[in-house]
Structure 1
Amino acid sequence: MLSTAFADFDSSLLRKPLFDPITPHGIFTLDGADWKRSRGQLRNRLSNLRKVIDLGVCEQHFQAFLQHVPPNGQVFDVQRCTSALASDMQTRFFLGESVGALDFTQSQEKKQFVEDLHVIKERIVRDGFRGPLRHLMPKRVFYRSCCRARKYVMARARREVERQSSRIEKTKGGRDGNDFNKSEEISQFADQTMSILLANDSTSTTLSGLFYCLSRDERIVEKLRTSIIDAIGLTPPTWAQLGTLHYVRWVLQEGEESLIDH
């Protein structure tokens, strides 16, 4: 609805100040024609998921996730693990490398980025509820986290854009040489990536809520497992096989509705 009728909805005066320090030209800070253009660019990047998403890489991240699931039904923080899984997969596909949130040997730089992202999201949510009172709260930590996170993403966005440009130049047989357009593309790439990362809680919340619901109904778990094995077997799925997992889709939809009801 927002992609086609954005002008019919009022844009909160609070939204831009909240997101401007971290995504100055992202979909959360723009309005009108600029928002529509940014939304279109982001949609184009995600228009063909089969080209964007490597199922083999997804399997690697899922196996890393399983390393954090304790045996014998022991209690663990599923929200933290699903959040790490979402962050790892999204940064891998958008930045060309994962932040390694599920890695036991995560680098200090990547660990700092994950922490900064948490600080940023928490502050945006809190200030959204505070309204005008947000001006009374100190922002030094928030701005510092925004600066570090932006720098981290920009470095990888620059590398990714230059890699793509190099591939195009080899295809064309010459150098484009338009550094201004390349700089603009890098900034745009960073804004779009940060917008996705700031919104990844919806993915992790859905997954953690679903796992919680499944943990309370062993019958559904067994039925779900049987349906997957019958359709795919015990090997990682292909794109064609994913389309046959009807019961999985129904469980996901039911899980989302349960979260809304509660």
Structure 2
Amino acid sequence: MSVLNAYLNPLTYLNTSIGTTKLDNLLMQSWLFPALVALAIAGRLLLSIYSTWHHAQKASRIGCGEVPLYSSQDPFGISTLLETLDAAREKLLPQLAERRMTFLSRKHDRYVSTFRMCQAGRENMFTADPKNIQAMLATQFKDFGLGDMRRNVANPVVGHGIFTTDGESWSRSRSLLRPQFTRDQIGNLDREERHVHNALCAIPMLSDGWSSAVNIQAIFFRLTLDSATEFLFGKSCDSQVAAMQQEAGPAPDDTFLYGFDRCMWYLAERIRFDRLYWVIYNQEFRKCIDIVHAFVDQYVHSALKQVQQQEEQPQGIKKVPSQYIFLNALTGTTKDPVRLRDESLNVLLAGRDTTASLLSWTILLLARHPHIFSRLRSDILEQFGTYELPRNMDFASLKSCQYLQHFLNEVLRLYPVVPLNRRCATKDTTLPRGGGKDGTSPIYIRKGRTVMYSTYVLHRRKDIWGEDAEIFNPDRWVGRKVTWEYIPFNGGPRTCIGQQFALMRSSYVLVRLLQRYDKIEDVQSEREIRYSVSLTSCPADPVTVRFHQAEVEG
């Protein structure tokens, strides 16, 4: 055992064996220190070899098969990292996983949906197998977590909240937030109308009834930010109004809108750099973090002050709030200002970007499929009336508009707002499939190993969705029931808590748009669709369209 200690930790071993004074004297000799460094490196290598052998033996004993390796040009996976960064720069990141799977499928003469790859010095697992995804997210939920990397990547911006924590911390966040997403809270659409009205005002109309060409995606991202900040804080940041007042040009670099968007970009870059995330932490990033935190902190301090004032009032004259405010409700559970800021930012990050991304994809697809636009608009007018005379628009009626829901399902299938996700093994465990020559054997997952899974690839698998899997067709949802082959909002205990919030807002905005406009034109219809992937995925290029305003009826 002492010999093994000498290999694995030579300095500690020498210090224990011969004493500190003698060790200092020995280190003075020029030949000894390099020798000890070499010995330490050899010890680490020996330990790595032993660990690999040990886990291979363990995997073999429990019947796990070998997993195909996506080979890299170097042993440290730097070329794989560069391949990922190149795909991100080309705005084709979701398709990279498909290309890797196609390459391995040809090499192994079978469909490969699960494989290993080394990136930035760490071996990760990748899968687009619904059984493996179900195991990670549901049946073996306790074997997998978000892992330290996501916490480390996102901590400077969103701290500790529902989207960055595991275990008891996650359970507390989930319990804290769940009551804020009841049907009654998310179904209140009155406040949404003001933000939709501002968005429509941002679309300039010409004398011929057509609008000028507008980037509707930019309008959507402002709309959802305005809506989310009002829901969360009781007061909208009104970015849409501010943008119209500026008339042209990007948001100033000292505004919340600018700071928030740049923070999201930096977080995406940190994720792509994997274990080298820490290199992405420059002065601009820190400045944007300060802007975002200062913006939310003012609402937190105001909410806490309001709570204090209410507690100081006599019991009989306490005011009942006139409208629901997420942050105020949250103060009923915690008074910690940092916790309130972190949880609010976690919800803001997800609530704003997912809805805006989904809406951007919907308009792009409607503009490229005019027959679907016409059919959807016809159904909307029949059920909800005209723009000037709307009727019966609430949670239940929006959910019951069948073709609208089929349309949204199909958008989320082909263009999921979170195309790539990951989990980290919390202990040595297995996944059901992907090993052996035919890929049907279970696979061994070491503790600490990352498993990435692609919703984008899963939703386009032809063996699941048919040969027309890449064709946009809302009718495929007629009578279709799905399980783990369709996970736009994840699944299991960590199913997105704001799923209905995002779908309800998206449905409402679409209804109002299609009531107002009877035609839509894609200004750049020949351009290839590319993907901007930050924490969510939206069209990489501006969704530039023209709308034709419907004639006033009634």
Query: Is the counterpart of residue 83 in structure 1 residue 221 in structure 2?
Result: yes
Aligned to 1:60: 194
Letter in 1 for 2:412: E
Moved more, 145-154 or 120-129: 145-154
CA 105–73 in structure 1, closer or farther in 2 if over 3 Å, else same: closer
* Whole-Å separation in 1 of the counterparts to 2:348 and 2:159: 15
Give the Cα separation in 2 of the matches to 1:27 and 1:252.
Answer: 26
Is 2:385 the counterpart of 1:242?
A: no
- CA gap of 1:135–1:173, structure 2 versus 1, over 3 A, is same
* Match among 166, 175, 193 for residue 40 of structure 1: 175
Deviation at 1:25, TM superposition (A): 2.2
- The 5 Å alignment of 1:194-209 reads 194-199=345-350, 200-209=352-361
Distance 1:149 1:68, change over 3 A: same
CA positional deviation for 1:153? 0.5
Checking the alignment, whether the CA contact within 8 Å between 2:362 and 2:411 is kept in structure 1 is yes
1:160 paired with 2:303, answer yes
Deviation readout 1:215-242 (Å, 9 max, x if unpaired) = 1122221221121121121226234432
State whether structure 2 residue 385 is matched by structure 1 residue 224. no
| Residue 101 (structure 1) aligned with residue 239 (structure 2) | yes
CA drift at 1:160: 3.0
Confirm or deny: 8 A CA contact 2:358 2:412 kept in the other structure: yes
Q: Give the match's secondary structure for 1:220.
A: helix
Runs of 5+ unmatched residues, structure 2: 1-133, 319-330, 416-455, 461-469, 471-554
Aligned equivalents of 1:144, 1:52: Cα separation in 2: 33
**C-alpha deviations, 1:201-225, integer Å up to 9, x for none?**
2221111011110011222212211
Contact map agreement 2:399 2:405 (CA 8 A) in 1: no
Which of residues 362, 373, 382 in structure 2 aligns to 1:210? 362
Distance 2:314 2:361 in 1: 46
Which residue of structure 2 aligns with residue 187 of structure 1? Answer: 338
Structure 1's 86 and 171: CA in aligned 2 closer, same or farther, altered over 3 A?
Answer: farther
Pick closer, same or farther for the CA change 1:62–1:174 going to 2, 3 Å.
closer
Determine the C-alpha separation between the residues in 1 that align with 2:268 and 2:253.
23
Residue pair 1:210, 1:255 contacting (<8 A) in 2 also = yes
Change (3 A) 1:238 1:11: closer
Is the 2:304–2:335 contact (alpha carbons within 8 Å) kept by the matching residues of 1?
no
> Paired residue for 1:256, among 412, 418, 421?
412
CA RMSD of superposed structures (Å): 3.1
Does 2-11 or 62-71 show the bigger shift? 2-11
Cα offset, 1:58, TM superposition: 0.7
- Matched letter for residue 301 of structure 2: R
User: Whole-Å Cα distance in 1 between the matches of residues 368 and 314 of structure 2?
Assistant: 55
Shift of 1:12: 2.7
Which structure: greater helix fraction?
A: 1
- The CA distance in 1 between the partners of 2:254 and 2:376, in whole Å, is 35
Bigger mean CA deviation after superposition, 128-137 or 96-105: 128-137
Q: CA 1:4–1:65 in 2, change beyond 3 Å: closer, same or farther?
A: farther
Amino acid at match of 1:192: E
Aligned to 2:13: none
Q: 2: distance between equivalents of 1:102 and 1:196?
A: 20
Secondary structure of the structure 2 residue equivalent to 1:231: helix
* Equivalent residue letter for 2:227: M
d(CA) in 1 for partners of 2:353, 2:177? 18
Question: Once the 2 structures are TM-superposed, how far is the Cα of residue 188 of structure 1 from its aligned partner?
Answer: 2.7
3-state DSSP of counterpart to 1:241:
helix
The DSSP-based 3-state class of the residue aligned with 1:243 is: helix
Q: Across the two proteins, how many residue pairs are aligned to each other?
A: 255
Distance 1:6 1:35, change over 3 A: farther
Q: Which amino acid aligns with 2:354?
A: S
1:92 alignment partner in structure 2: 230
Q: Does 1:135 find its partner at 2:278?
A: yes
Query: Is residue 246 of structure 2 the alignment partner of residue 112 of structure 1?
Result: no
Counterpart CA distance in 2 for 1:76 and 1:160 is: 37
Larger of the two Rg values belongs to structure: 2
* Aligned counterparts of 1:16 and 1:109: Cα–Cα separation in 2: 29
Using structure 1 for the length normalisation, give the TM-score.
Answer: 0.83
List per-residue Cα deviations over 1:121-164 (Å, max 9, x = no partner).
10000011012333334422212211221121021123234445
1:116 Cα deviation (Å)?
Answer: 0.7
Residue 25 of structure 1 pairs with residue 181 of structure 2:
no
1:6 is displaced (CA, Å) by 4.7
Distance, in Å, in 2 between the alignment partners of 1:45 and 1:3 is 24
